[in-house]
Amino acid sequence: MFVDFTTVQLLQVVLATLALIGGSLLAETIVEARHRREHESALHAEVRDALDAVRRNSSPSADLLFLSRKALAPLEDRIADADTLRICGGSLFRLMNEYSQVFEQRLRSGTEIKFLLTDPESDAAAYLARHVVYEVRSVDSYRANIRDAIAEINRLCQDFPGKCHLRLLDLAPPFSIFDVGRVDSPSTAHVELYSLGSPTRSRPIITLNEVQDPISHAFFRTQFDCLWEIGHEYSED
């Protein structure tokens, strides 16, 4: 059975069909546009969050700059390729008590070492004992610890003349410095800030690399050199 469409009716059908197709396409475009806007909005939010994170990280918390002693690599690993060592501290008693043989091995390998510590007879030693070294029992025991460290360092200086050096300070250093100088790789330094009446394990430590932290590393190396210049030679007399 055939339906007899007039020309006007046929035109109406075509227009209606086109209207349906156009409406469908328009609806699809609207939906796609909405999805695209939602996606772009989410993307913008991610970019915004990322930028915010970058801004936050550009001014990091000071807590991220400090380490504790337990976070440091073993001393043997830190000095394995050292060409020079600059070591400054109050008494260096624990260091020499635990690592004297390690230093001796480095000296045998050609490493030059400078030890700088407080004169046990100075007022500075008494100040450190009373106000800085939390674990010390008395001024006398602290002075005895310094003398023990000096005796061990002096032995190394006698066994390795020209390679091992010792000087004493009449003032209390505000920090300890453990500087590892290298020729074939970046030098590093660990700076431990001396605090009043707090455990040694709680002292904040800054780790510096001469490539990543050239200004700070150079500053503390210069500080060691200044302290070395005002220190005096050790005499057994």
Instruction: Note the pLDDT of residue 51.
Output: 47
Rounded Cα distance, 222 and 235, in Å: 26
The confidence band for 133, taking pLDDT boundaries of 50, 70 and 90, is: confident
State pLDDT tens for residues 152-199: 999 999 999 999 999 999 999 989 999 999 999 999 999 998 888 777
* HSE, side-chain direction, 13 A CA sphere, residue 159: 16
CA proximity to 200, closest of 216, 176, 168 = 176
Instruction: Note the pLDDT of residue 58.
Output: 59
* pLDDT exceeds 70 at position 126: yes
Cα Rg of the chain, angstroms: 36
Domain 64-233, CATH:
3.30.870.10
State pLDDT tens for residues 62-77: 676 777 777 788 889 9
* pLDDT exceeds 70 at position 230: yes
Instruction: Note the pLDDT of residue 2.
Output: 41
Over residues 25-49, mean pLDDT: 51
Most confident range (mean pLDDT) of 103-112, 124-133, 185-194 is 103-112
Q: How many CB atoms are located within 10 Å of the residue 130 CB?
A: 14
* pLDDT exceeds 70 at position 208: yes
pTM listed for this prediction: 0.73
* pLDDT exceeds 80 at position 7: no
* pLDDT exceeds 90 at position 114: yes
More confident residue, 62 or 50: 62
User: Which 3-state string (H, E, C) describes 170-204?
Assistant: CCCCCEEEEEEECCCCCCEEEEEECCCCECHHHCC
More confident residue, 17 or 212: 212
Instruction: Note the pLDDT of residue 236.
Output: 79
Q: Which neighbouring-strand residues pair with 198?
A: 133
